[in-house]
Structure 1
Amino acid sequence: MSKKVAVIMGSDSDFPVVSPAIRRLKQFGIPVEARVMSAHRTPEAAAEFSKNAEKDGFGVIIAAAGKAAHLAGVLAAHTTLPVIGIPVKSSTLDGLDALLATVQMPSGIPVATVAIDGADNAAILAAQMLALSDESIAKQLHQMKVDMEQGVAKKNEALQQKVAEL
């Protein structure tokens, strides 16, 4: 069985943002657990979760947070598992604050960071990491790329038809 992916959000209000990641991971057949933890309000719980994540069967941690967005960094500080940060758009600075807080990690504490509200790519990146040791996931990722290529080809065909009709 594949390792699990943890999807940790700083607040339950982040659930609509992380839902595409959970959905995508489930589509790949990857076990996923979602939790609410705060880097600032529950720092001990976040650290404890991260310290035990590998022994608890997780292979990747996805962390979504807005504003100060320290969650991914706090989790990364306490584990050697890959951590993927999703900066969450807030009303304050449209997510730029969260993006900078997530991506600007000190040396030795890397956090892979996707686009603001980029949950789908976070899930795909997590799947790619797990695919290094899981052929089933690797095959699904390959098929996803083939499907995307075919989708673009169909759109191009339709466009060429419209251009010809002008």
Structure 2
Amino acid sequence: MSEGAGQGERDMNPRVGLIMGSDSDWPVMEAAAHALAEFEIPFEVGVVSAHRTPDRMLDYARTAADRGIEVIIAGAGGAAHLPGMVASATALPVIGVPVPLAKLDGLDSLLSIVQMPAGVPVATVSIGGARNAGLLAVRILGAADGRLRKRVEAFQEQLGASVLEKDAALRDRVLGSDGKVTGE
């Protein structure tokens, strides 16, 4: 597995495993890596196929905690068995990312990942929602890390401030400074 920690740093103690069924999933999954890097969360990244390398996938899932991994983000398209199979082989939290493909636009992946049997939970984000998967991993880690939790809270406040700025800009653009709709 390759490792990353943002700004190109290499960290020998990754906390998050970022895996996908194929390297073609990277354009979607890269957003999770960026979210983790924003919060300086070290992660490892790799291709682990549930169908083409099932023994490797099981080994990855079974040894992740021993390697210091605390959360696994698994992205897959089509049948999308990777997140569920990984969840069946580890006690770590698994976040599934449905990767959209040319057919069905990722709906097949979403349904496959979200419909898990009782006792094998997979937290599932939206189709192509790798950024939210990364942010959810940060929140999970933040539950036991007060400093990280404070950073998440600051991030949330920044999101709220951004909405207020956009609201003011839209009102000014549409209503103008005199409160009347512009363009009339």
TM-score, scaled to structure 2 = 0.87
Per-residue deviation at 1:10? 0.2
Aligned 8 A contact 2:14 2:44 in 1: no
2:67 to 41, 56, 78: 56
Aligned 8 A contact 1:76 1:109 in 2: yes
1:100 matched to 2:108? The reply is no
2:27 to 16, 26, 34: 16
2:128 to 114, 117, 141: 117
Per-residue deviation at 1:136? 2.0
Structure 1: runs of 5 or more not aligned: none
Which of the pair has more CA radius of gyration? 2
Task: Tell me how far apart the structure 1 counterparts of residues 169 and 103 of structure 2 sit (CA, whole Å).
Answer: 41
RMSD: 1.3
Per-residue deviation at 1:3? 6.2
Aligned 8 A contact 2:18 2:74 in 1: yes
Matched residues, percent identical? 47
Alignment of 1:63-142 (within 5 A): 63-142=74-153
1:29 to 30, 40, 45: 40
TM-score, scaled to structure 1 = 0.97
Per-residue deviation at 1:158? 1.0
Runs of 4+ in 1 over 3 A off after TM superposition: none
Per-residue deviation at 1:53? 0.6
Aligned 8 A contact 1:5 1:60 in 2: yes
Provide the aligned length of Structure 1 versus Structure 2: 166
Aligned 8 A contact 1:3 1:130 in 2: no
Structure 2: runs of 5 or more not aligned: 1-12
Q: Deviations over 1:16-58 (max 9, x none)?
A: 1111100110110111100101000001101011001111100
Give 1:162's aligned residue.
173
